[in-house]
Chain A
């Protein structure tokens, strides 16, 4: 390619394409690579954020392994994966199929796209705003949910949804399903548009029930989308911070703490910077391992 260019541009020296990567590379070095390496370095020290860090080797990581608060925050991460990846994907599939081959066909494509937009709306909302909306709805006194329960005669179910350690995690999970559902829905509906409708019609003529068609025709056609959505949402779930900060601050008593909030607390509240760095490094390793595995699977699938 470049020899072709030389032939044309006779005599004049041409800069290589790699030069276009230079601004990006320098910016990435300063903002991503250097801070990331620093963070890893700091995780091997004891440091309060002032003065000079004291070398600690793997002490922070050893402490991490014995820290029940860390393991608990990690278990909550799995709950977030359920709330932000598994449930939205499952619900998104059923809703997308229902909107696509029921509402759009029998009621109208306009209705279907308005409904899709409604489901997607929480996704464009700053999580801080979603947090304000929901912590008011879920408030123990005068909260809209408790008032609504009272109004329909279910007053005995009133709870301190975010303040009771038995309910807080489930409440946060429910909010996250609400936040997240629109993303898989939009992706799956786009996927269904790409799929071949004749298969579906043939199955319908053969008398297959809606569920059988969903399971054997719809799902296999949008498998790539399901896969991508699960990966993206799982990574988002492992990184979740804003929602926990605004809804519960990890409380009550650590009942909703997650690793990202745990590291934030170590950095800025407890000034255990070395320990916080160890937490965030551990989280990074898990996320990157997951992402690498997914990239591998994807390239293998593309090669086939």
Chain B
């Protein structure tokens, strides 16, 4: 499972001469970072990292916020027609993006949002919050009623109950959602590929995918690209390992 990553890391630090002389399986003769540096400059990788972080971070926060509002009404408010509302969110989450992509592309051109990071942030905030609403509604459905009633008797409005009681108590679930939304958005491909065409707005995924599609790179630079693409994901993984496994189990059982 991790073997491909090791092979990639080995070849990303080889010089082209070393690679062509000894092939992909040998150990590098020395640490040669030109491939990494060339690739970084060629695609302006720092910029792509910034775009990915900005888009994913904004989506994570906004989608979590939207999920909390929706789930408060469904899970605690028990609004009428709740199973239907919930089914609607689940189905929205399962919709293939292909069925949205052309109208989103067309409409964003009409309103002047095409090729802006904001357009991608808006779309993914909604898509991710569909899953968040589904998960958080079932968690809040089991929220102890006495706690809420006690706060209400003390004179808190619904808005105050949400921020002072429900959100602090649900912090672990909201944390899981933030991590998942961030990583999912970071990894998204189709919509960013269609919506972010200028170099300045592209994400890491799109930049790497487009380069790969053009097949312009030599083997060492391909490996440098792959290594730079793997590293952020690997960092998230090390930081969020526990949250991730907890979240998957939670998502599956609900």
Residue in A16, A27, A125, A229 whose beta carbon sits within 8 Å of that of B187 in the complex: A125
Task: Say whether A287 contacts B226, CB under 8 Å.
Answer: no
A295 is an interface residue with CB less than 8 A from chain B? yes
With the chains together, A25 CA to B138 CA distance in Å? Answer: 19
Residues of A within 8 A of B162 (CB): 20
Interface segment out of the listed A198-206, A212-220, A237-245? A237-245
With the chains together, A287 CA to B99 CA distance in Å? Answer: 11
Question: How far is the CB of A232 from the nearest CB of chain B, in Å?
Answer: 8
Task: Say whether B252 contacts A228, CB under 8 Å.
Answer: yes
Task: Say whether A246 contacts B209, CB under 8 Å.
Answer: yes
- Count of residues in A whose CB is under 8 Å from the partner chain: 95
A252 is an interface residue with CB less than 8 A from chain B? no
With the chains together, A260 CA to B11 CA distance in Å? Answer: 33
Q: Chain B binding site: helix, strand, loop or mixed by DSSP?
A: helix
Residues of B within 8 A of A23 (CB): 66, 69
Question: How far is the CB of B189 from the nearest CB of chain A, in Å?
Answer: 4
Residue in A144, A246, A283 whose beta carbon sits within 8 Å of that of B96 in the complex: A283
What are some 24 contacts across the A-B interface (CB < 8 A)?
A16-B79, A17-B73, A23-B69, A24-B69, A30-B126, A32-B95, A35-B104, A35-B107, A38-B107, A42-B102, A120-B237, A124-B187, A125-B229, A132-B212, A134-B4, A136-B226, A144-B25, A181-B1, A225-B252, A264-B98, A280-B102, A283-B98, A284-B96, A292-B91
Q: Which residues of B contact A (CB under 8 A)?
A: 1-2, 4-5, 7-8, 11, 19-20, 23-25, 66, 69-70, 72-74, 76-80, 85, 87-88, 90-92, 94-107, 122-123, 125-127, 129-130, 133, 149, 152-153, 155, 157-158, 162, 183, 186-187, 189-190, 193-194, 204-206, 208-209, 212-213, 219, 222-223, 225-226, 229-230, 233-234, 236-237, 241, 244-245, 248-249, 252-253
